[in-house]
Structure 1
Amino acid sequence: MTGTADPSPRALVVTVSNRAAAGVYEDTAGPVLVEGLRAAGLAVDGPQVVRDGDPVGEALRAAVAAGFDVVVTTGGTGLNPHDQTPEQTAPLLDRPVPGIAEALRAAGLAQGVPTAVLSRGLAGMAGSTLVVNVAGSPGACRDAVEVLAAVLPHAVDQRRGGDHPRS
């Protein structure tokens, strides 16, 4: 890779859950993302647990302003009326990266989870921050880590001005 010399992209994991934010139950999805992204070589903050709705947008705007390279949300992407993560994410995205969201849904299908297609998660660039929405189960987060670990180093390098590898 040919971008800047910073070897550790900075990432933030945001868990979107009314019940986890209220202390009704423990966040089990966010820690899966944190562990997996750290294993992939990212310096990861979080998980930051927020309620559905406006708090998601507030957390995303703060993360973009703080200069994180990557923000990965988990939860709030389904069909429940409270699931508003894509609606909070979309206005921030300058450039969609639909292939990431498509790959996340395909990974769930490949694991035999037909409901993976119900995730409305988005991915794209908000300024210089890559934002990715992941479904809210630990299994979806494990699948997401496999997809993201394969593409995040190149995505961050590109965001930092790196060139395409020559094969």
Structure 2
Amino acid sequence: MSEREFIPVRIAVMTVSDTRTIDDDRSGAILIERLEAAGHSLVAREIIRDEVLLIRAQLSAWITDPEVQVVLATGGSGLTARDVTPEALAPLVTKPIPGFGELFRWLSYAEIGTSTIQSRAEAALCDQTLVFALPGSPGACRTAWDHILAQQLDSRHRPCNFPELLF
């Protein structure tokens, strides 16, 4: 870390699930706990059913909301018929960030082996908002935050970080 100033990022958390509620959404809770502990701000939280149009509508609303700089979406990124988060995100992407998914799967391999191949975790810049589509498991959310997002959302991280793109 350098001696640069920490700049908190305003983050929205979306859990994509047909069955989760705020009370039992462990993945969303893990992301919120970690982002707040890091000094960032939670500006919105929603649980959205696994439906392309519902997911896309919420993502679109947050992408156009100047209060939201980053969206962390958990769930809907696997291979089942109901997993449609990447499809919902696709038309909203300005610039894909393929390295995020590649790095996530590389890190995940150490934890779950070849099962990581079924993850479609991805990230993109959508206009001026960063969107990260994470798997729905609590372990995957911990991996993504602890090993990628904590550093890349920290304005002090060198040689580069995502907040540099936002401010």
Same fold, TM-score > 0.5, yes or no: yes
Query: 1:16–1:76: 8 Å Cα contact kept in structure 2?
Result: yes
3-state SS of 1:15 partner: strand
3-state SS of 2:79 partner: coil
Residue by residue, what CA displacement relative to the aligned partner does 1:108-130 show, whole Å, maximum 9, x if unpaired?
11223432221112211001000
In the TM superposition, what is the alpha-carbon distance from 1:47 to its structure 2 partner? 3.4
Match for residue 38 of structure 2? 40
Match for residue 121 of structure 1? 121
One of 24, 27, 30 as aligned partner of 1:29 = 27
Inter-partner Cα distance in structure 2 for 1:113 and 1:28: 23
Taking only the aligned residue pairs, the percentage that are identical comes to: 35
- Bigger CA drift: 82-91 or 147-156? 147-156
Residue 166 (structure 2) pairs with residue 159 (structure 1): yes
Inter-partner Cα distance in structure 2 for 1:98 and 1:105: 11
Cα distance change, pair 158–12 in 1 and its aligned pair in 2 (3 A) = same
Residue 66 (structure 2) pairs with residue 59 (structure 1): no
Please report the RMSD computed on the Cα atoms of aligned residues, expressed in angstroms.
2.1
In structure 1, list runs of 5 or more residues that go unmatched: 161-167
Query: 1:34–1:46: 8 Å Cα contact kept in structure 2?
Result: no
Match for residue 77 of structure 2? 77
Cα distance change, pair 101–41 in 1 and its aligned pair in 2 (3 A) = farther
In the TM superposition, what is the alpha-carbon distance from 1:41 to its structure 2 partner? 2.4
Equivalent position amino acid for 1:155 in 2: F
Inter-partner Cα distance in structure 2 for 1:45 and 1:32: 16
Inter-partner Cα distance in structure 2 for 1:137 and 1:113: 15
In the TM superposition, what is the alpha-carbon distance from 1:104 to its structure 2 partner? 1.5
Query: 1:89–1:122: 8 Å Cα contact kept in structure 2?
Result: no
The two structures have a TM-score, normalised by structure 1, of 0.85
3-state SS of 2:130 partner: strand
In the TM superposition, what is the alpha-carbon distance from 1:27 to its structure 2 partner? 1.2
Inter-partner Cα distance in structure 1 for 2:6 and 2:109: 35
In structure 2, list runs of 5 or more residues that go unmatched: 155-160
Query: 1:34–1:47: 8 Å Cα contact kept in structure 2?
Result: no
In the TM superposition, what is the alpha-carbon distance from 1:55 to its structure 2 partner? 1.3
Match for residue 50 of structure 1? 48
Equivalent position amino acid for 2:130 in 1: L
- Bigger CA drift: 126-135 or 47-56? 47-56
